[in-house]
Amino acid sequence: MLTIKRVPTVFSNYQEDAAEPRGCGRNCLGKCCLPVSKLPLYAFKSDSKPPVSPSGATEDPPADFFLNALLLGQWEDRMSRGLFRYDVTACETKVIPGEQGFIAQLNEGRHLKKRPAEFRVDRVLQPFDPAKFNFTKVGQEEVLFRFEAGGADKSRFFESASVDEANPPSVVAINVSPIEYGHVLLIPRVLDCLPQRIDTESFLLALHMAAEAGNPYFRLGYNSLGAFATINHLHFQAYCLSVPFPVEKATTKKIPIAKGLADGGVKISLLMNYPVRGLVYEGGNTLKDLADVVANSCICLQESNIPFNVLISDSGRRIFLFPQCYAEKQALGEVSQELLDTQVNPAVWEISGHMVLKQKKDYEEASEDYAWRLLAEVSLSEERFQEVKACIFEATGLVEAEVEDTDANENKGTYQSTTASNTHFPEGCLVLQ
């Protein structure tokens, strides 16, 4: 069994000493408290069957309501209450000189006050363990709102809504050890205590969150076990950063598909000229079309015990899937000591080009060469990547066309910032270039 002794990221103020009995008087997210609680509810427009509708809804909120007024407004409220372990808006951030435009952040607070743990890296799928920290132990003061399908043709917001036991609630909560401004966790069906594994329903929920935010500077990310997820309770992460990620600007090459995508409108491409090999999914006639193809690809990886990371970009219209092997190399002693000394765990944000550095020396000396060398260790070899791609295609019923009909340079990055130009984030999430 491969193991790495590590100091895990602290997601919640209740994570440390979680084994100590606290009773059920903490107003937590467990079955003892949540079913009798009332939390704010954002019900996004959906074709799904609507849940029981409480009264007092705000019908069809303004376009910027979800991200600016609700999510970021409530996040700043929790910041004013002192619920975060440090002020992430005070962390230094810069764009590293070079062609790729990697972003470096100095976040010395993120590795402080951690408790030691044994982290198993050779199993992507592991059963949920209620004895270990999980999000049912989070206090409701860390929750911003519930995020669920509303079943109507318009989104609605309820300031207070009872929990319907027939529809397990999904919640958005703060990450008390934030990487960036607005750093939150999306926890699908929190009471179901799902382990960290992708399913089609939960992945669609994450795409809906990106779509409701409606801003390309707000991205969601997912880390599997073995790819630097530190909590085995299903969750996605999200935050704001007002600069394009390097991976969003990278060249892609369309994979011609002869069979399997039907009329869903989804396009699959290879990521080119980037240190980490990956697949890019975009388009789709509906969010569900795109979510189903990506989720089924992830399901193939996790069932094949292949660690991976996912970036949800461009308001849910573009998804990057990265199979990776860094933790395995680390456990086998195949990563250079120079890279290990930086204590950087290359999860979805680092792979996308946002380097979260824990030591001032590393931040001051950060270079494009360092970022490229780190991420190259994350990537599968070309031979292994082709094997994994073939496995995904076989498992999802996709058949690649034999004749190439695309140009390798057909897409030199499709990052669009037009949506973002209408939304103004506070200074805390801006990057000086």
Could you list the active site residues?
A: 235
Helix (H, G, I), strand (E, B) or coil at 168: coil
Residue 284 and residue 266 in contact, taking contact as beta carbons nearer than 8 Å: yes
CA nearest 121: which of 345, 279, 286?
345
User: What residues does 146 pair with on adjacent strands?
Assistant: 41, 171
CA nearest 314: which of 397, 381, 217?
217
Counting DSSP H helices and E strands in the chain, the numbers are 10, 20
CA nearest 318: which of 252, 396, 257, 408?
252
CA distance 410 to 413: 9
Rama region for 290: left / alpha / beta (φ>0; ψ in -120 to 50; rest): alpha
Give the angle 335-15-68 at the CA atoms, nearest 5°. Answer: 90
The two three-digit tokens of residue 149, written as one number: 């399908």
CA distance 190 to 29: 8
CA distances to 199, 203, 283, 400, 402 from 260, in Å: 19, 20, 15, 9, 14
* Run of H or E including 393: helix 382-396
Q: In terms of C-beta density within 10 A (0-12 exposed, 13-18 middle, 19 or more buried), how is residue 409 classed?
A: exposed
CA distances to 43, 94, 173, 309 from 348, in Å: 28, 19, 19, 5
CA nearest 312: which of 334, 327, 331, 294?
294
In the numeric block, the tokens 């795409």 are attached to: 207
Which phi and psi (to 5°) does residue 254 adopt?
-65, 135
In the numeric block, the tokens 């958005």 are attached to: 172
- Measured distance between the N- and C-terminal CA atoms of the chain, rounded to whole angstroms: 45
Cα–chain center distance at 354? 13
